[in-house]
């Protein structure tokens, strides 16, 4: 017999391994109380993750597009700035070339003043065709100019001194005239002041006389008013005395006259020689007080009766509550004895076999 190496059939092992993996996953899923009770929607979560990733990708693309656009704008602005500078430089160079070609300083009319050039203006016309009006500088021109300028300065100084002296004399005349005018004005002012003072003195004297007359009149009126007031006061006092006499206790026989208040918080005393008996008001007050005392006594008696009845009712309720409490305590004691006997029966007679660890370890060992 030949020894042949046959291929090993591992399909059974793969099946067993697959079942073990499924069992492990099932245990993890079943024994996870949160996942078993609440559950999870994997499709919804995957959809949310996909949407979130898509949104992030879109934001990244948008930011990238904005960055590219910003860079392009920056480049365009830089190129525009460079072109503008080049245009300005070219324009400046053209302008400088134009000035150097067509607007030279040497060709201007005042070149002899700016550049110290004698006869700087060049004339292309032949001299034979020019007339006297074309002459610009002559021989001997400018001789004695310095002396002339000095003479002109001296003349100007003399004129200024003359003007200054004239102004000084004019100011002195004006001051002298002003002093004379001020002196005359002062005299006139003094005269007017004297007239005003005399007028004020007369007005003051007149006002003093008027005030004195008014004071005398007021004093006379005050004295007359005092006399009238004194007469009126005497008349009132006389009338009061007559009225007091006519309305006195002696004339009217008033009952209150028999009472005298000694003061010091003591009750009033009755003068027997003047007492004329009790008045109707006093009698009615006594009757009212007696009726009030009688009603108060009746109310007090009724309150005492109600109080006694309430106390008796409370005693009866307390006694009834005590009896119920005693009965309840007895019932609770009987019930406790029965429960204790039942518990002893369970512990000592019924449940005699205690479970071991093997009994508890047999649970949760499989997902089936």
Structural domain includes residue 17: yes
Q: Which of 1-5, 135-139, 183-187 has the highest mean pLDDT?
A: 183-187
Q: What whole-number distance in Å separates Cα of residue 256 and Cα of residue 283?
A: 15
**What percent of the chain has pLDDT above 70?**
75
Cα–Cα distance between 119 and 141 in angstroms, integer? 14
Full residue range of the structural domain in which residue 55 is found: 13-104
Which two three-digit tokens encode residue 333? 């004691």
The residue ranking higher by pLDDT, 151 or 255, is 151
Q: How far apart are the C-alpha atoms of 244 and 251, rounded to whole Å? A: 10
276-321 per-position pLDDT tens digit:
667 778 888 989 999 999 999 999 999 999 999 999 999 999 999 9
Q: Report the candidate in 26, 15, 33, 34 with the shortest Cα–Cα distance to residue 366.
A: 26
Could you tell me the CA-to-CA distances from 302 to 199, 250, 297, 298 in Å, in that order? 105, 52, 9, 6
Residue 103 in tokens: 């607007």
Half-sphere exposure of 287 (CA within 13 A, CB side): 7
Confirm whether 200 is domain-assigned: no
- Contact of 277 with 285, CB cutoff 8 Å: no
Distance CA 44, CA 47 (A): 5
Q: What is the value of pTM for the model shown? A: 0.24
pLDDT of 96 above 70: yes
Angle among Cα 54, 55, 57 to the nearest 5 degrees reads 65
Mean pLDDT of all residues belonging to the chain: 80
Least confident of 34-38, 170-174, 311-315: 34-38
In a domain, 128, yes or no: no
Tell me if 143 is assigned to some domain: no
Distance of CA 213 to the CA centre of its chain: 69
Written as six digits, the tokens of 286 are: 């006594």
Cβ atoms within 10 Å of 366's Cβ, excluding its own: 9
| 254: pLDDT strictly greater than 90 | no
155 versus 253: the higher-pLDDT residue is: 155
Specify the pLDDT at position 198: 82
Strand partners for 269:
260
If phi > 0 it is left, if psi is from -120 to 50 it is alpha, else beta; for residue 205 that is: alpha
Confidence at residue 30, expressed as pLDDT on a 0 to 100 scale: 76
In a domain, residue 58? The reply is: yes
Provide the sign of the torsion angle of the four alpha carbons 257, 263, 269, 273, taken in this order.
negative
pLDDT of residue 252: 61
Which range has the worst mean pLDDT, 11-15, 56-60, 184-188, 201-205? 184-188
pLDDT at residue 118, as a whole number: 46
Q: What total number of domains does the chain contain?
A: 1
Return the higher-pLDDT residue of 7 and 42: 42
Average pLDDT over residues 244-270: 63
Residues 111, 121: contact at Cβ < 8 Å?
Answer: yes
Q: Please report whether residue 147 resides in a domain.
A: no
- pLDDT for the residue 79: 94
Does any domain span residue 167? Answer: no
- Asked whether residue 136 is assigned to any structural domain, the reply reads no
pLDDT (average), residues 136-152: 68
- Residue 359: pLDDT band by 50, 70, 90 thresholds? confident
């Amino acid at each position: 017999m030949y020894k042949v190496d046959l291929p090993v059939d591992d399909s059974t092992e793969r099946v067993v391994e697959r079942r073990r993996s499924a069992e492990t996953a099932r245990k993890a899923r079943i024994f996870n109380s949160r996942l078993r009770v609440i559950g999870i929607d994997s499709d919804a979560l995957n959809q949310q993750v996909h949407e979130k990733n898509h949104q992030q990708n879109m934001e990244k693309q948008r930011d990238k597009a904005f960055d590219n656009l910003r860079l392009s704008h920056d480049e365009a602005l830089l190129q525009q700035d460079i072109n503008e500078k080049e245009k300005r430089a070219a324009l400046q160079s053209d302008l400088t070339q134009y000035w150097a070609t067509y607007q030279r300083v040497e060709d201007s009319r005042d070149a002899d003043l700016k550049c110290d050039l004698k006869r700087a203006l060049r004339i292309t016309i032949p001299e034979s065709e020019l007339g006297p009006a074309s002459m610009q500088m002559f021989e001997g021109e400018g001789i004695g100019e310095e002396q002339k300028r000095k003479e002109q300065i001296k003349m100007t100084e003399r004129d200024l001194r003359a003007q200054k002296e004239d102004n000084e004399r004019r100011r002195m005349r004006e001051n002298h005239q002003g002093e004379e005018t001020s002196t005359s004005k002062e005299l006139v002012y003094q005269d007017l002041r004297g007239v005003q003072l005399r007028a004020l003195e007369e007005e003051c004297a007149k006002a003093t006389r008027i005030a004195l007359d008014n004071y005398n009149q007021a004093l006379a009126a005050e004295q007359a008013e005092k006399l009238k007031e004194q007469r009126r006061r005497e008349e009132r006092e006389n009338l009061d005395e007559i009225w007091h006499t006519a309305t006195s206790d002696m004339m009217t026989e008033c009952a209150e006259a028999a009472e005298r208040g000694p003061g010091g918080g003591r009750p009033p005393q009755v003068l027997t020689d003047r007492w004329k008996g009790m008045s109707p008001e006093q009698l009615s007050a006594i009757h009212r007080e007696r009726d009030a005392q009688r009603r108060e006594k009746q109310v007090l008696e009724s309150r005492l009766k109600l109080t006694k009845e309430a106390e008796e009712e409370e005693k009866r309720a307390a006694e009834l509550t005590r009896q119920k409490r005693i009965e309840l305590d007895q019932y609770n004691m009987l019930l406790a004895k029965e429960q204790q006997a039942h518990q002893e029966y369970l512990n000592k007679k019924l449940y005699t076999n205690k479970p071991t660890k093997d009994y508890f370890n047999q649970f949760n060992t499989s997902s089936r």
